[in-house]
Amino acid sequence: MDATTGPEILVLGDPRLRVHCDDVAQVDERDLEQLAAALAGAKSRLGFGRAIAAPQVGIARRIIVVDLGAGPFAVINPEITWKSDETFELWDDCFSVPDRLVRVRRHRSISLAFRDRGFRRREWPRLPIELAELLQHEIDHLDGVLMVDRAIGDDAMRPIELRGELVSPLAPPHRLSLPRIAEAARCIDPVFLGSPQFVCEPLAEAVGCRLTLKVETVNPIRSFKGRGADFAIATLVARGERPALVCASAGNFGQGVAYAARKHGLPVTVFAAEGANPLKIARMRGLGAEVRIAGDDLEAAKQTARRWAAETRARFLEDGFEPEISEGAGSIAVELLAHGDGFDAIVVPIGDGALINGIARWVKAAAPATRVIGVCSRGAPAMARAWRRGPGAKPEPAGADTIADGIAVRQPIAASLDDMRRTVDDIVEIDDAALIDAMRLVHAHAGLVTEPAGVAGLAAVIAARAEFAGRDVATVICGGNTTAEQLAAFGIVPGPA
């Protein structure tokens, strides 16, 4: 085996491609490694390729290895449990038929049951079209069926040289880059990387599922926002840009921008709303930002910040819009999945969308059967409502009346919503009382001091106990900037003397 090409891939005419593969009773890591190497080698040679089936390297076992850009994962003993009635035609390609394209018909969507690398049973419902056709092709291989067997119509085969002309992506390119998320996971300021991640057993027992907490409050700004801000500002500086920076923030994003800008010697002005959390205001100023109060909510502060940036020719950083901010937040998902945990769901708070979009982008490439569920405040439903209206609907503002200032979004960002529609499985709403209950529970069982927005994911898991019962679930505790007075009002710790 050549290290640059991987194991040999069998081609049309080899009888081993016509074997109906046996179910796997126990995973052999050597099989997975061989398949991953073969896929990587073929992609290196050809410039394309997202999956490979075991019989293509002479292994008569029901294994598929897929790499969607975030590393290989295994689909073992796949079973199609549902097929859409709607079908479509496409020009298909295959490593084992290397000289031609074949026109075939596939179901537009399917649902799968399978085993993952840890041999845990997984369900992957309603695959998007680009993955549905891919998995149908690979499952055919497991049954000894090649794409030439499914050729339809006259002139159904064309030379592979026409691939660039005939084979079109079934989904448009994503705004967020998987390589940049991987880069962020390596190069973000180490004070934000490697955050604590553990199964909180008392809390898991209380909510009735295996619950992993990813704790993003043990860093200099007590929130996840430092990841995206650091990556975005480092990217600007790497391009040779050293502008004055302007942003609007309820407090956590402003702290992240101030912390990263100070490291690079860049001036920062943060616009915040009247009534913003005084602890967050003090910390932004303490990190060197000039803080200006403008408007009665975050959206008003954002509009003022945008005008001021235009007038002063400063660089306006908009949380939820800048791809690099979401990509930095996506490093959380890289860490979450690095230990091989087979999560059934990851439940994430939604503010402007940077956190959930970064996480969902990586998860849907590295472990796409994992559901990504977003959580909004019932008192600030603009993002949830806009997402439910679907593609093409104009984002409309809604009220923002909630104690969770970090997710009190009134006007959705269109680009952020577009990202969400491609990767987020569901969005739920939670009320303020549930947020306070979650703050109390995580303090009692994990010793964590949090803020309302920071526990929205946990609150949603608690509220949907029946849905998550017995499942393997993760959530991000994403902020902990709460004053002593607020904590005392919530009945969590005694107030100041």
Is 89 in the active site?
Answer: no
- Which candidate, 57, 112, 224, 174, places its Cα nearest to that of 420? 174
Q: Which residue in the list 133, 138, 318, 322 is annotated as catalytic?
A: 138
Burial 137-151 (b: 16+ CB within 10 A, else e): bbbbbbebebbbebb
Are 260 and 289 in contact, with CB atoms under 8 Å apart? no
Q: Which residue has the tokens 């996971």?
A: 185
Whether the Cβ atoms of residue 449 and residue 443 lie closer than 8 Å to each other: yes
SS3 content of the chain, % helix, strand, coil (to 5): 40, 20, 40
- List the structure tokens of 33: 């490694």
Q: What angle do CA 462, 465, 468 make, to 5 degrees?
A: 110
Q: How far apart are CA 75 and CA 119, in angstroms?
A: 10
* 445-to-117, 191, 213, 283, 485 alpha-carbon distances in Å: 31, 25, 12, 28, 21
Token pair belonging to 375: 């959580």
Scored b (16 or more CB within 10 A) or e, 402-433 reads: bbbbbbbbbbbbebbbbbbebbbbebbbbebe
Q: What is d(CA 44, CA 42) in angstroms, rounded to the nearest whole number? A: 5
Q: Which residues are catalytic?
A: 138
